[in-house]
């Protein structure tokens, strides 16, 4: 971005001056009164960094299928049995999930481990659905066409960083805009974001491709209170006297100044990033930190505080006059090559418990119908295990949850568990997706109100598939 464009953007979004901005903000809040609840939409991406094992998330519950899966993952299942209790993946320890649309899964039965009881409850309450066999695809692909390379395959399959980027932005490492950010770009271009578009894309987990657009930059709120600069906030650091007040005032501008240019491109970029971060932070912080707490309590695990901050941020969206937002939540450790039985369950519980608290909190403020949460990960994992873990796979199963979701259903495809089956690659039975990421994204984009034309622009391979969207939302 050129300096003058950047400054123009700042001016346009009101980042230039606080006092002025806050009075504008009040006006927007008033103007938005009455329409917010009927119009506002937030899309929340929950990313499982490392690639979660979908076969350890939704397990077969019919006895024969259960036995078949267990036979190709003996070491893993035995390790779970040895831990026992809620960890056990013995069939009797699993929680069955029985979809309304059981004809779509040919009457087969499935179950989740006890750590995912929150997801099961939401499923049963018809506010969460599972999507089977989602993953990166350029065009429909089978075991045969994969093996003989007669179709275009996604680049750099099985590589963490590349597939993570592909999930988030349909391109490999080096990509600059993800599909979430580009949806926001499109919504912004058609005037659907509302005011304060600087906060249309928010992350609790740092910079990420999903939420970055060609015009949309990610605003980081983290999982704690929004920080101040200690030198500004704590007068004792420099000294509480008149000349130090002057120094502080000058430092305030120095940190935020975007006039002092530098011949060096990177230094200039760094200065602009810092200036934008502090100015936006100034603007967002007071509203956010003073937002009322929820009665719902969030677990203090590694997803909980992130969900809590997203909930708080959604709560203050109205004051900023925002109509559409995307959020990015992420946590790692899902790359369970070894000792999966020790590493996965508590992460699953963290996700499940946190999501459930989030939905409760959203209901508390009457916004659950305005929110959709979906899961994503680098990839699924091999059906055939190594001794105590699983290796990089391809397709995976995911969930979509929210007040408008047609819940208690399984869409997409649930594969059988024969490693030599058509659903898998030959080596180690990596699941070949049948639902392309782009169909999954288009479904979510459509819900956000993104036009078909903009969806096509964002999702280049969508039209290689016969169906554009999944049947997931109540109209």
267 interacts with another protein by CB under 8 A: yes
Joined together, the tokens standing for residue 82 give 């040895």
Joined together, the tokens standing for residue 216 give 């949309």
Which lies closer to another protein via its Cβ, residue 86 or residue 207?
207
> Which of residues 160, 363, 416, 468 is near another protein by CB under 8 A?
160
Which lies closer to another protein via its Cβ, residue 105 or residue 226?
226
Cβ at position 342, least distance to another protein in Å: 12
Range in contact with another protein (rule: CB under 8 A) among 57-65, 259-267, 290-298, 359-367: 259-267
Range in contact with another protein (rule: CB under 8 A) among 130-138, 250-258, 292-300, 310-318: 250-258
Beta strands (DSSP E) in 302-393 are 324-331, 371-377
43 interacts with another protein by CB under 8 A: no
Range in contact with another protein (rule: CB under 8 A) among 30-38, 123-131, 252-260, 401-409: 252-260
DSSP 176: -
Cα–Cα distance between 410 and 128 in angstroms, integer? 9
Cβ at position 386, least distance to another protein in Å: 4
Cα–Cα distance between 407 and 268 in angstroms, integer? 49
Binding mask 411-440 for another protein (x = CB under 8 A): --------x-----x-xx-x----------
Positions 1 through 30 that interact with another protein (CB under 8 A): 1-2
Let me know: does 108 contact 60? Beta carbons within 8 Å.
yes
Cβ at position 283, least distance to another protein in Å: 11
Cβ at position 471, least distance to another protein in Å: 28
> Which of residues 133, 203, 341, 441 is near another protein by CB under 8 A?
203
Backbone φ/ψ region at 440: left (φ over 0), alpha (ψ -120 to 50), beta: alpha
Positions 127 through 156 that interact with another protein (CB under 8 A): 156
Cα–Cα separations (whole angstroms), residue 295 to 84, 103, 317, 360, 362: 34, 40, 19, 9, 11
Cα–Cα distance between 128 and 26 in angstroms, integer? 36
Cα–Cα separations (whole angstroms), residue 405 to 128, 210, 374, 410: 6, 22, 11, 12
The length of the chain in residues reads 475
Cβ at position 339, least distance to another protein in Å: 8
Binding residues for another protein, rule CB under 8 A, total 98
Cα–Cα distance between 125 and 257 in angstroms, integer? 51
Which lies closer to another protein via its Cβ, residue 244 or residue 291?
244
161 interacts with another protein by CB under 8 A: yes
367 interacts with another protein by CB under 8 A: no
Let me know: does 210 contact 181? Beta carbons within 8 Å.
yes
Q: Which residues of 337-357 are buried (b: 16+ CB within 10 A; e: fewer)?
A: beebbebbbebbbbbbbbbbb
Which lies closer to another protein via its Cβ, residue 123 or residue 146?
146
The residues with which 67 forms a beta bridge, in sequence order, are: none
Positions 299 through 358 that interact with another protein (CB under 8 A): 332, 335, 337-338
CA atoms within 13 A on the CB side of 120: 18
84 interacts with another protein by CB under 8 A: no
Q: For residue 251, give every residue at least 6 positions away whose Cβ sits within 8 Å of its Cβ, in sequence order, or none.
A: 231, 232
Cβ at position 245, least distance to another protein in Å: 10
280 interacts with another protein by CB under 8 A: yes
Cβ at position 155, least distance to another protein in Å: 8
Which of 54, 61, 20 is CA-nearest to residue 412?
54
Which of 12, 96, 85, 28 is CA-nearest to residue 60?
96
Cβ at position 222, least distance to another protein in Å: 5
Which lies closer to another protein via its Cβ, residue 142 or residue 274?
274
Q: Which residues of 443-475 are buried (b: 16+ CB within 10 A; e: fewer)?
A: bbbbbbbbeeebbeebbebbeebeebbbebbee
385 interacts with another protein by CB under 8 A: yes
453 interacts with another protein by CB under 8 A: yes
Which lies closer to another protein via its Cβ, residue 380 or residue 412?
380
> Which of residues 16, 206, 366, 467 is near another protein by CB under 8 A?
206
Cβ at position 196, least distance to another protein in Å: 14
461 interacts with another protein by CB under 8 A: no
Range in contact with another protein (rule: CB under 8 A) among 98-106, 308-316, 363-371, 388-396: 388-396
Positions 214 through 233 that interact with another protein (CB under 8 A): 214-215, 217-222, 224-231
Cβ at position 296, least distance to another protein in Å: 23
DSSP 91: G
User: Which value, in Å, is the radius of gyration of the alpha carbons in the chain?
Assistant: 24
> Which of residues 41, 73, 120, 318 is near another protein by CB under 8 A?
73
Binding mask 48-67 for another protein (x = CB under 8 A): -xx-----------------
């Amino acid at each position: 971005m050129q300096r003058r464009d950047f400054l123009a953007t700042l001016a346009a979004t009101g980042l230039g001056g606080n006092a002025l901005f806050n009075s504008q903000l009040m006006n927007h809040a008033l103007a938005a009164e009455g329409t917010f609840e009927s119009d506002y939409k937030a899309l929340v991406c929950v990313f499982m960094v490392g690639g979660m094992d979908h076969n350890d998330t939704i397990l077969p519950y019919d006895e024969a299928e259960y036995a078949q899966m267990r036979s190709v993952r003996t070491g893993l299942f035995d390790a779970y049995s040895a831990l026992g209790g809620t960890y056990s993946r013995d069939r009797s320890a699993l929680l069955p999930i029985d979809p309304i649309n059981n004809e779509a899964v040919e009457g087969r039965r499935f179950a989740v481990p006890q750590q995912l009881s929150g997801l099961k409850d939401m499923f049963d309450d018809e506010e969460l659905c599972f999507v089977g066999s989602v993953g990166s695809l350029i065009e429909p692909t089978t075991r045969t066409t994969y093996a003989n390379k007669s179709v275009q395959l996604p680049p750099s399959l099985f590589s963490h960083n590349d597939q993570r980027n592909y999930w988030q932005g349909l391109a490999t490492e080096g990509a600059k805009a993800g599909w979430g950010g580009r949806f926001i770009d499109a919504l912004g271009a058609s005037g659907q974001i509302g005011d304060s578009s600087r906060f249309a894309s928010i992350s609790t987990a740092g910079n990420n491709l999903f939420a970055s657009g060609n015009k949309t930059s990610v605003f980081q709120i983290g999982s704690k209170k929004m920080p101040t600069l200690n030198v500004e906030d704590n007068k004792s650091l420099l000294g509480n006297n008149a000349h130090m007040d002057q120094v502080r005032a000058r430092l305030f501008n120095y940190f935020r100044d975007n006039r002092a240019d530098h011949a060096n491109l990177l230094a200039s970029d760094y200065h602009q990033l810092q200036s934008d971060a502090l100015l936006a932070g100034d603007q967002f912080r007071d509203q956010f930190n003073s937002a009322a707490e929820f009665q719902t309590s969030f677990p203090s695990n590694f997803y909980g505080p992130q969900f809590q901050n997203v909930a708080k941020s959604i709560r203050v969206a109205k004051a900023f006059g925002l109509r559409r937002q995307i959020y990015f939540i992420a946590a790692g450790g899902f790359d369970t090559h070894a000792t999966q039985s020790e590493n996965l369950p508590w992460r699953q519980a963290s996700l499940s418990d946190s999501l459930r608290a989030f939905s409760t909190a959203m209901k508390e403020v009457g916004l659950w119908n305005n929110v959709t949460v979906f899961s994503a990960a680098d990839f699924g994992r091999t059906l055939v295990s190594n001794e105590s873990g699983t290796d990089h796979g391809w397709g995976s199963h995911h969930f979509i949850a929210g007040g408008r979701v047609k819940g208690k259903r399984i869409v997409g495809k649930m594969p059988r568990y024969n490693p030599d089956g058509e659903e898998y690659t030959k080596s180690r039975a990596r699941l070949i997706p049948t639902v392309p990421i782009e169909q999954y994204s288009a479904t979510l984009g459509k819900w956000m109100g993104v036009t078909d034309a903009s969806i096509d622009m964002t999702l280049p391979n969508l039209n290689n598939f016969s169906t554009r969207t999944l049947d997931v939302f109540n109209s």
